[in-house]
């Protein structure tokens, strides 16, 4: 198991290196940090562009630029924005904002997918299976922004009316200025109230697809020979399903969840726009693409790649835990 983990870690590092080169190549050939100055009236003098190119290192060879950027990233320096602010100082807080939404969505989606997938497989073609299938297909068909808008418009108001006070919020990740006078518990309550709807929006749309994978995987397991053997040995149906069936049925879902992290980052961009969150999505759209800022886009893409590779590494390790044949291969 130890050597298996080391091999996977080394492979992940190699994947990150290749990803960083591809990301840098894409951004370096697509973005021009000087473009926002071209249409100014009066136009800046040529000396201004020469000094800015020298300052941003645009006069260097492509591979020199890549090495300078990569060596800076390895020391925590993601470069500066077009406004002169270090990218690393802005990435951290925004990653914390988006991270808590994505982590919450993954936890909720995985739990719901396992429960609904197992029930749907065990009770195949029963009313509960048809109900879960119908709900899943409806959620899969809904656009992210529209579903988020529905939650914002109807669910928030319904919950607040039911409770009699505002406990669910629809704008921002926290109440502005609350941290200046509120206690730690009040601040956590406020952040939780802002977190509910964006997290549910991502979680429910994600769970719908994951539950279908879990159901299909569980159906394959239920029809296997070793499940019939376990029943023939006298094990109860419940014990056979939960102890022997579920463990093997989780293996395909592990891959789906690991690969779905990148999709969640994409969904977070839209969700943050709907709920006006100041996270990674807003940072990419407004500060990166909107300002034609290559360092911001590079930082965002690299952080996304790290998360995808990290979760795939976790998935590989979970493979070995769930299926000993993999780590012995």
Q: What is the pLDDT of residue 118?
A: 92
Q: What are phi and psi of 315, to 5 degrees?
A: -65, -40
Question: 97 versus 175: which is more confidently predicted?
Answer: 97
The CATH classification of domain 2-15+98-328, taken from the options 1.10.10.10, 3.40.50.300, 1.10.540.10, 1.10.3720.10: 1.10.3720.10
- pLDDT at 259 > cutoff 70: yes
Question: 32 versus 146: which is more confidently predicted?
Answer: 146
Q: What is the pLDDT of residue 35?
A: 73
Q: Which of 194, 190, 171, 165 is nearest to 179 (CA)?
A: 190
d(CA 202, CA 204): 6
> What is the value of pTM for the model shown?
0.82
Q: What is the pLDDT of residue 244?
A: 79
Q: Does the CA dihedral 232-234-240-245 come out positive or negative? A: negative
Average pLDDT, the chain: 85
What is the per-residue DSSP string for 241-257?
IIIIIHHHHHHHHHHHH
Residue 180 DSSP class: G
- pLDDT at 139 > cutoff 70: yes
Question: 185 versus 218: which is more confidently predicted?
Answer: 218
Query: Residue 86 forms beta bridges with which residues?
Result: 80
- When pLDDT is averaged across residues 293-308 and rounded to a whole number, the result is 88
Q: What are phi and psi of 173, to 5 degrees?
A: -95, -10
- pLDDT at 262 > cutoff 80: no
pLDDT above 90 as % of the chain = 23
End-to-end CA, the chain: 11
Residue-wise pLDDT tens digits, 2-38: 777 788 888 888 999 999 999 999 888 887 777 777 7
Band the pLDDT of 328: cuts 50, 70, 90.
Answer: low
Q: What are phi and psi of 143, to 5 degrees?
A: -65, 145
Q: What is the pLDDT of residue 106?
A: 92
Question: 180 versus 275: which is more confidently predicted?
Answer: 275
Q: What is the pLDDT of residue 17?
A: 92
- pLDDT at 329 > cutoff 60: no
- pLDDT at 228 > cutoff 90: no
Q: What is the pLDDT of residue 113?
A: 94
Residue-wise pLDDT tens digits, 68-112: 899 999 888 888 887 778 898 888 889 999 989 999 999 999 999
Q: What is the pLDDT of residue 323?
A: 67
């Amino acid at each position: 198991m130890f050597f298996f983990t080391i091999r996977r870690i080394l492979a992940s590092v190699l994947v990150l290196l290749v990803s960083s080169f591809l990301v840098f190549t894409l951004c370096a050939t697509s973005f021009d940090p000087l473009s926002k100055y071209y249409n100014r009236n009066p136009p800046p003098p040529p000396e201004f562009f020469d000094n800015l190119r020298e300052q941003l290192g645009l006069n260097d060879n492509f591979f020199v630029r890549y090495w300078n950027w990569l060596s800076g990233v390895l020391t925590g320096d993601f470069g500066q924005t077009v406004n002169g602010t270090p990218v690393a100082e802005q990435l951290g807080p925004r990653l914390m904002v988006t991270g808590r939404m994505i982590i919450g969505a993954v936890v909720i989606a995985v739990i719901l997918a396992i429960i609904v997938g197992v029930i749907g497989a065990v009770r195949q073609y029963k009313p509960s299976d048809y109900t879960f299938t119908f709900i899943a297909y409806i959620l899969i068909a809904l656009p992210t922004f529209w579903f988020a808008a529905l939650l914002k418009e109807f669910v928030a108001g319904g919950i607040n009316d039911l409770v009699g006070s505002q406990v669910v919020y629809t704008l921002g990740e926290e109440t502005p200025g609350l941290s200046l006078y509120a206690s730690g518990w009040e601040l956590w309550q406020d952040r939780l109230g802002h977190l509910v709807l964006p997290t549910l929006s991502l979680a429910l749309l994600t769970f719908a697809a994951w539950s279908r994978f879990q159901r299909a995987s569980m159906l394959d397991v239920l029809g296997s020979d070793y499940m019939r053997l376990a029943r023939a040995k006298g094990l109860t149906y419940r014990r056979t399903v939960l102890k022997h069936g579920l463990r093997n049925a989780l293996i395909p879902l592990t891959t789906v969840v690991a690969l779905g992290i990148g999709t969640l980052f994409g969904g977070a961009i839209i969700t943050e726009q709907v709920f006006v969150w100041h996270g990674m999505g807003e940072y990419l759209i407004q500060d990166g693409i909107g300002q034609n800022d290559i360092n911001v886009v590079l930082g965002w893409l690299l952080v996304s790649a790290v998360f995808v590779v990290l979760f795939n590494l976790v998935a590989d390790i979970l493979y070995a835990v769930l299926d000993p044949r993999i780590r012995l291969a």
